[in-house]
Amino acid sequence: MPSNREAFIRHAAQALQEAEIHLPRDVTRALANAARTESDERAKEQIHAILENVRLAGAADLPMCQDTGVPIFFVEIGREANIDFGLKEALATAVQRATDAVPLRKHAVDPLTRTSCDEPLFDMICDVSDGNRLSVAVLVKGAGSENVSALAMLEPLQDVTPFVLKTIWKSGGKPCPPIIVGLGIGSTFDGCARLAKKTLVRSLEEEESPFEAEILGQINELGIGPMGLGGDTTALRVFVEEAPCHTAMLPVAVAVQCWADRKARFSIKL
Amino acid sequence: MDRSNAMSTVLHAPISPADVAPFKAGEVVFISGVLYTARDKAHDRMLADPHRPFSLQDACIYHSGPLIVKEGDTYRVISAGPTTSARMNTQTPAIVKQGVTAIIGKGGMSLNVARSFAGRCFYLAFTGGCGILAQEKIVEVVAVYYADLGVTEAVWKLKVLNFGPLLVAIDSRGDSIYETVRVRSRERLLHLIAGRKRTL
């Protein structure tokens, strides 16, 4: 039987390319809605510029933002899937291939010496599920929004909302609002961050919970607006994911995504 | 300066301090001429380099790490939107002292930077994430300096035509739209979290 490696690499490279060039429809629709409902003229113009940029990127087959970010691959491995290759190595090859094909910006550096390095930059988070498929969601994360994301180990009985609102207020225009906000509440130090980040591949059109709607309303009441220039539209959507935690802990992570909520999926039978 | 149409003022870079001074926060301009991209490392290098290979007098700095590829002997700009300006807050007053009159970026800069403008520099906001809108206005890659810093961090001398729309977000007097928004949103934040019960 031939190896599945090549098919996997091809799909992963294609998904990354798709994410970098074409903004998903749920995000474009949310932006178009915001352009209609926004009451601030300056804010409206910022959103119109964004929508025009999205259109031009798609038409020219080029990455919508020069910060082509860090791809994060959420991989679900079916228990019965026949994987005869190294996942990490295959994803590195896929990222390299997309880097040449799209092309993507080569901005990986050594964290302390800050000198360029050639390794493809990406992250991989794996889960095991039922079945024989390998399902992958890729999220492209730029530095502007990643830099304002935050994590707090709150006191167990503390209210989470002030931490969330302060985090968004402090970030102002830096993460390229209108943003998408993923909250991970519970689990552990690293667990809440993973919960928060994984929400960002969800569709903005999924039904929102009352808690998600409440936080979204409060974030938008801040009036930071598109690009931090004021307006009604600071965030397009808030996602909340919870998990049980130790009785002596309350971990909370706020994962912020820019308007360029670049995401794509694929699933192959192995 | 071409002010024939109030909606489309085109400034020609390099821009003199006298041309910058009349603009007020909230106005929209376009720029034609020469921009120099510069991020964190380039700012440090520009300030430390006694033999800087270009002049900052009346220069326009663009906070951007463009995506550029080399094709044969020429450079092709793929995507070139603005980067987060706040990262350059600390070095910017020194850059302004060197004669810079316009800074293009996104997300805004600190009050300290706004104060350093002293009537002779302004900050222009280009919509973040709009790499293709920006790329379409770049007509030529004139030169690259400090290439050892890497494609993203190097200084690219770019020739642009009607680059914009650019919002005057911090004017030469230091009036800042970001500061107005920051103060107002802080009041709203305090109102939203006041009176919330400490426990759920």
CATH number at residue B172: 3.20.130.10
Instruction: Kindly determine whether residue B130 and residue A65, on different chains, have CB atoms separated by under 8 Å.
Output: yes
Continuous H helices in A104-245: 143-146, 161-171, 189-199, 210-221
Residue B3 lies in a domain: no
pLDDT at A6: 95
Domain that holds residue A43: 5-269
Contact A228 B107 (CB under 8 A): yes
B64–A66: do the CB atoms touch at under 8 Å? yes
Confirm whether the ipTM is greater than 0.85. yes
Find which of B181, B182, B197, B198 to mutate to test the A interface (most A CBs within 10 Å of its CB).
B181
For residue B28, the SS3 value is strand
How far does the CA of residue A98 sit from the closest CA of chain B (Å)? 14
List the domain range (segments joined by +) for residue B16: 9-193
The confidence score (pLDDT) of residue B198 equals 57
Q: Among B124, B126, B132, which would you mutate to test the A interface (most chain A Cβ atoms within 10 Å of its Cβ)? A: B132
Residue B198 resides in a domain = no
- Is residue B164 domain-resident? yes
| Prediction pTM value | 0.95
Instruction: Say if B199 falls within a structural domain.
Output: no
Residue B4 lies in a domain: no
Q: What is the mean pLDDT of chain B?
A: 94
| DSSP 8-state symbol, A165 | H
Q: In chain A, how many domains are there?
A: 1
B12 labelled catalytic: no
Q: Are A246 and A189 in contact (CB under 8 A)?
A: no
In a domain, B29, yes or no: yes
* pLDDT lower than 70: segments of chain A: 1-2
Name the band, by pLDDT with cuts 50, 70 and 90, for residue B196: confident
Q: Check: CB of residue A138 under 8 Å from CB of residue A122.
A: no
pLDDT for B74 equals 93
Nearest-by-CA chain B residue for A141: B129
Alpha carbon B50 to chain centroid distance?
24
Q: Give the model confidence (pLDDT) of B21-53 as tens digits.
A: 999 999 999 999 999 999 999 999 999 999 999
Core vs surface per residue B163-191: b (16+ CB within 10 A) or e: bbbbbbbbbbbbbbbbbebbeebeebbee
Residue B98's pLDDT is 97
Indicate the number of domains in chain B: 1
